Amino acid sequence: MAEGGVPYPSVFMVDSHAAYPTLPPKPRPPGRGGVAQSLLFLLVGLALCGLAIEACFIYHLYSKQGSAESGSAGMSIQDHEEFLKEVPPTSRPNPIVLPSKPVAHLTAGPQTPHGDGVMVWNMQAEPILHEMEYKDGKLVIQKEGYYYVYSKIFFSEVDVAFTHSVCRTTPRYLGKDIELLKSRRYHPKFGKMMSTSNSYLGGVFHLFEDDSIFVKVKNVTQVRIQHSTENVFGIYMI
């Protein structure tokens, strides 16, 4: 106590280096954690449902296959044959490709030409005949257009002229046959030697429907018919 009975003031020492007390943790905003957890549970549930549905589909597929195999295994031979009869056969595509335009190619047969010299062609040797008609040695046009017409004749050369021609008849013109192509050969005879030769004709013509095209020869006895490919006649649209 100080003099005169006056007490001394209390003195406190403060340590400025002491640590401050820790603050309590901030509370989380309400609702955020709950939404994330709900979304996670929803996604997991959807994934599990997808797996379950896929497993059901796989089980259903395998059960169908197993029942079909067991049914076919229990089928007798007679039942199997009857089952095959009931199943309609599958149609196979036609391997023959048809031409896109009218065409004809004929070869000579054993028949001799007509008395008027019109060549006769073999219809038993599977001739090419598409969108055309063959009648009495003539090809009848079914569609108007430009056609390439050709013919080759194998003949004997003697001391008589040989004439080879391609002719046309049409309802548009009345009268004689119209000569489209013509070849005339004359081989004078020297001694007793006889030779053979070929006459080839070909050209492009504008033909109309119902026009008839045919090959005509003069001195038909000179035509040599030994092989079918030696005498030909054909038309095709270009």
pLDDT in tens, 95-111: 778 899 999 999 998 77
Cα distances (Å, whole numbers) of residue 218 to 81, 113, 128, 155, 236: 66, 10, 26, 11, 25
Cα–Cα distance for residue pair 137/108, rounded to 1 Å: 10
Nearest to 182 by CA among 135, 149, 224, 209: 149
In the three-class reduction of DSSP (H, G, I as helix; E, B as strand; rest coil), residue 159 is classed as coil
Cα distances (Å, whole numbers) of residue 14 to 22, 145, 225: 19, 125, 144
- Between 19 and 104, where is the model more confident? 104
Residues ≥6 apart with Cβ < 8 Å to 206: 144, 145, 146, 147
Highest mean pLDDT among 80-84, 108-112, 212-216: 212-216
Lowest mean pLDDT, pick from 24-28, 78-82, 166-170, 232-236: 24-28
Cα–Cα distance for residue pair 189/174, rounded to 1 Å: 40
Residues ≥6 apart with Cβ < 8 Å to 114: 120, 137
> Is residue 146 predicted with pLDDT exceeding 80?
yes
The tokens of 109 are what?
A: 């047969």
- A 10 A CB-CB count for 234 gives 21
Lowest mean pLDDT, pick from 7-16, 34-43, 84-93, 171-180: 7-16
* Polymer length in residues for the chain: 238
Cα–Cα distance for residue pair 51/74, rounded to 1 Å: 35
Q: Whole-number mean pLDDT of the chain?
A: 81
Q: Give the side-chain half-sphere CA count within 13 A for 228.
A: 14
- Using 50, 70 and 90 to split pLDDT, how confident is the model at 122? very high
- Between 177 and 84, where is the model more confident? 177
- Using 50, 70 and 90 to split pLDDT, how confident is the model at 89? low
> What pLDDT, on the 0 to 100 scale, is given for residue 68?
57
> Is residue 198 predicted with pLDDT exceeding 90?
yes
- A 10 A CB-CB count for 103 gives 18
Query: Which residue type sits at 94?
Result: N
Chain position carrying tokens 């006649």: 233
> What pLDDT, on the 0 to 100 scale, is given for residue 57?
83
> What pLDDT, on the 0 to 100 scale, is given for residue 183?
95
> Is residue 82 predicted with pLDDT exceeding 80?
no
> What pLDDT, on the 0 to 100 scale, is given for residue 181?
98
CATH topology assigned to domain 103-237: Jelly Rolls (2.60.120)
Helix (H), strand (E) at residue 86: helix 77-86
